[in-house]
Amino acid sequence: MARYNPKEVEPKWRAAWAEADAFRAKAEPGKPKYYVLEMFPYPSGRLHMGHVRNYSLGDVIARYKRARGFAVLHPMGWDAFGLPAENAAMERGVDPKAWTYDNIARMRSELKELGLAIDWSREFATCDVDYYGRQQSWFLDLFKAGLVYRKESVVNWDPVDQTVLANEQVVDGRGWRSGAPVEKRKLNQWFLRITAYADELVDSLKTLDRWPDKVRIMQENWIGRSQGLKFSFDFAGQTPAGFERGLEVYTTRPDTLFGASFVGIAPDHPLAEQLAAADPNVAAFVAECRRGGVSEAEIETAEKIGWHTGFKVKHPFDPNWELPVYIANFILMDYGTGAIFACPAHDQRDLDFARKYGLPVRPVVLPPGADPATFEIGEEAYTGPGTIFNSSFLDGKDVEAAKAEAIARIEAEGRGQGTTIYRLRDWGVARQRGWGCPIPVVHCAKCGVVALPKSVLPVALPDDLEFGKPGNALARHPTWKHTTCPTCGGPAERETDTLDTFVDSSWYFARFTDTEAEEPISKAAADYWLPVDQYIGGIEHAVLHLLYARFVTKALADQGLLSVREPFAGLFTQGMVTHETYRKQNGEWVEPREVEIVAEGKTRRARLVETGEPVVIGDVEKMSKSKRNTVAPEEIFEVYGVDAARLFVLSDSPPERDAQWSTGGVEGAWRFVNRVWAEFDSQPSELPAAGTPPGDKAEALRVLTHRTVKAVTEAVESFRFNSGIARLYEFLNGLKDFPAAGASPDVLAARQEALAAFARLIAPFTPHLAEECWSQIGGEGLVAEAPWPDFDPALSQDAVKVLPVQVNGKRRGEIRAPAGAEPAEVEKMVLDDPEIARRLEGLTIRKVIVVKDRIVNIVAA
RNA sequence: GCCGCCGUAGCUCAGUGGUAGAGCGCAUCCUUGGUAAGGCUGAGGUCGGCAGUUCAAUCCUGCCCGGCGGCACCA
């Protein structure tokens, strides 16, 4: 008997797939198409377990859909621009371009080793000039359409990475990559007008029914649409300079206008700045407001503080009612108008503030069932539904009706307007970095900012950028930026900012549909393949990449480059790969490979392989370099083969949850691979002639086979790969009851059927093993090109059912009945059964419940 | 605070309105020409807690407890 040797078997089949060009995507009209895509990797240099999991998941889908007769597109590329290359350049003096392409070469070979059913002919990297040049082309289209603009604004500046960050890239006030506290800087910046699509980005989330709710909710929160009212207060008495037209505020609660107590402005509101310039005390207060931290915890606990400006405004519905104007630290300049009217009774923040400064608290929304005479607000604002009272013409209305009425009244008086506002900001896309896609515009002293004509594209990066020191290598290049203005022919300077790498990844899926096309996107190919039917990646991109890609798709559709308005019809967010952590007594982290686990009874202890020094087993955490709890895929491939690694990572947990890597687990998968092979190896090549009628035993095996096909098919369809694999384990265990040695001809034939199904069922998970097994039993061609097995519904269930019999809900016996037996018939069988009868002695039968093919319950007393 | 997910064997996880399952680990035994291995058998579970619906609840409903994730001074 030959031992299974993945080191020989696996490369052999990869070569066979390449030889057959098995995974080339071909648009075939009349055949249903399926586009499966995993988020493409950043070429950091090494494949990690997260990649193994991500791409194995996608590969299961790709192989399964192919077996199901779909024309499948499953491509691979590289998200190749970005800072790590520049950092490597600075640290090690290498060229970012060479570094990146070297990494790509290494990772490509590692990915190929995984045996993925990928059409490698479509591979590209975003740093290929063929790619980013075409990105510049559609960037110019958006420019022309007014979706790109430049403005001076306060931006997030990452002092470590020395670049601007988009709002989405600032997490808890820190740069998402560097972790450095972000500074505010006023810069000329390039923006993409994502807010023009805010409504559609929210509204069409509803159509993405194959996206996780979680991601849709996160995007909805991020866009943060709210309907409300913008209106102006007139000043009473003294009017500050520049505010002759009043003080504009935004509110979502115009129904509570009669509960107004004061008006608040943000510390960096123009009025506050004006006052601060004139009065050092105000300036000191504003400075104090700014000192507050930016983290959630700090904001949470920050006390509300205010400064009474001395100004007063008139209530819009009662000119004799005057409200004081405060500068308050809890008001944000970059939301709404940076000014609010406060209704303490129905807003907690306003209430905290009002209590502190002794301002009136007047309830105007009466909760259902409350008595208007006695209803009072304590330390908790009432924000629920109710009936408006104490509110003149709004009295008696519910909250929604009162909102509409208040807005109508304000609009009629010309004081303001019902408005929808968003938390979403336009996307700042310029980065002051050299290793990125150049923005195709020039600055001309005479003509200003001039977009280049498409005829001069691509604007390629120079090959001799100098990355040895911090800052923008493109800006300091001696000659690159000097050019001529396409409008006037005079001297001009190229824009030296490059595009955010999220721009690169916002359309790559469309380019994959035809990587040869002259134009950025081949309309015909995109129309055939898009949208991506199944997109797979990490949850960390829920509001970054996934939002940008949706926006760019819509914008490109409006420029006529695409037909779809949503790029990803189905989204799956997979969990992370985790591992136990280990530390020495001195607290130093230790890698799993340096540790051996010893079981002492039921407790596990760890020690260093080298010295035997005891090691503390810590928490299970995401594999990371800092905790040193990583396991290198190539070392696993070397020992157990690729299939065992794939199998384990797919079988360990549901794909959306974290998977915990363990040596024991991968060893279990490896043993499974060997047992599968042994089972196939034991099948004789001489088989009985077809048509041998199956006896009971053969029939039982056929039932097992067909049930397994059904269960695995359903599991794969619903992304429960781990369940599917669990069924395959059970299938293999079940096969042991039907050994080839000494089997009768009919059983041997049933075994052949079982194995033929088995090879095809494991093909998406362990493709190399599947080929070897398929070939062993004389399967035709490659299993990668074989159709998915069908199941016979009649065989996927038993002919004879074992029905448990309960008496008063407790199991008291069982009977065997033909499948589909009628309740009356079953009842008779049960009551005739001597064992059951014994159980019922002395009891009166009240009721007999027969659930067809399931169970019988006798209620007796 | 709001929203979402999770709680089943020692561990990692399947599963189902009716009989509780896999891998790993553990124990017993077998094999010793698959051997830095393989196989047989087995033990181990109030299915987080309480209540409700039901003939019957691990599963449905409600409340509670515990863990994880996202959002949040957004007017």
What pLDDT sits at residue A373?
Answer: 87
Collapsing DSSP to helix, strand or coil, A802 comes out as strand
Residue A681 burial class via C-beta count within 10 angstroms: exposed 0-12, middle 13-18, buried 19 and up: middle
Q: Which of A840, A837, A839, A860 is nearest to A849 (CA)?
A: A860
Protein-to-nucleotide distance from the CA of A603 to the C1' of B10, whole angstroms: 8
Name which of A459, A554, A460 is nearest A506 in CA terms.
Answer: A554
pLDDT tens digits, A622-670: 787 777 888 888 888 888 899 988 988 888 777 887 777 888 788 888 8
Alpha helices (H) along A328-434: 348-357, 399-412
Nearest-angstrom CA–CA distance, A809 and A812: 9
According to the model, what pLDDT value does residue A146 have? 95
What is the distance in angstroms measured between the alpha-carbon CA of A639 and the sugar C1' of B36?
A: 13
**Residues A535/A568, Cβ–Cβ less than 8 Å:** yes
Within 10 A of A629 (CB to CB), how many other CB atoms are there?
A: 24
Are A338 and A247 contacting, i.e. CB atoms less than 8 angstroms apart?
A: no
- Which residue is nearest nucleotide B23, judged by alpha carbon to C1' distance? A668
- In tens, the pLDDT along A711-721 reads 888 888 888 88
Cβ atoms within 10 Å of A105's Cβ, excluding its own: 11
A109 Cβ neighbours under 8 A, 6+ residues apart: none
Query: Predicted confidence band at A302 (pLDDT cuts at 50, 70, 90)?
Result: low
- Indicate the pLDDT class of residue A108, thresholds 50, 70 and 90: very high
Q: Which helix (H) or strand (E) holds A664?
A: helix A663-681
Quickly give A621 CA vs B48 C1' distance in Å: 23
Nucleotide nearest A218, from its CA to each C1' = B70
Q: Any idea which residue has 């509300």 for tokens?
A: A304
pLDDT at A810 over 70: no
pLDDT at A440: 96
Q: Report which secondary-structure segment, H or E, holds A157.
A: strand A148-158
Distance A656 CA to B4 C1' (A): 14
* CA of residue A807 to C1' of nucleotide B9, angstroms: 28
Place of tokens 């080339």: A24
**Which is more confidently placed, A380 or A267?**
A267
**Mean per-residue pLDDT for A594-601?**
70
Q: Is A541 helix (H, G, I), strand (E, B) or coil?
A: helix
pLDDT at residue number A653:
75
Mean pLDDT of A425-432: 87
pLDDT value for A297? 42
Q: Comparing A651 with A409, which gets the higher pLDDT? A: A409
- The nucleotide lying nearest A328 (C-alpha to C1') is B73
Separation CA A468–CA A466 (nearest Å): 6
A112-139: average pLDDT: 96
Reported as a pLDDT band with limits 50, 70 and 90, residue A409 is very high
Per DSSP, the residues of A514-532 read -TT-SSSS-HHHHHHHPSB
Gap between the Cα atoms of A107 and A51, Å rounded? 10
Residue A570 near residue A212, CB atoms below 8 Å: no
* Chain B: bases < 7 Å from a protein Cβ: 3-5, 10, 12-15, 18-19, 21-27, 34-35, 37-40, 55-57, 69-75
| Ramachandran class of A438: left when φ > 0, alpha when ψ lies in -120 to 50, beta otherwise | beta
What token pair was written down for A793? Answer: 């519904």
Closest to A437 in 3D by CA, of A114, A675, A135, A157:
A135
Mean pLDDT throughout A248-253?
A: 90
Q: Which single residue is written with the structure tokens 């998977």?
A: A659
* A809 has a pLDDT exceeding 70: no
Does the complex come out with an ipTM higher than 0.95? no
Two structure tokens written together for A678:
């042994």
pLDDT tens column, A431-440: 888 999 999 9
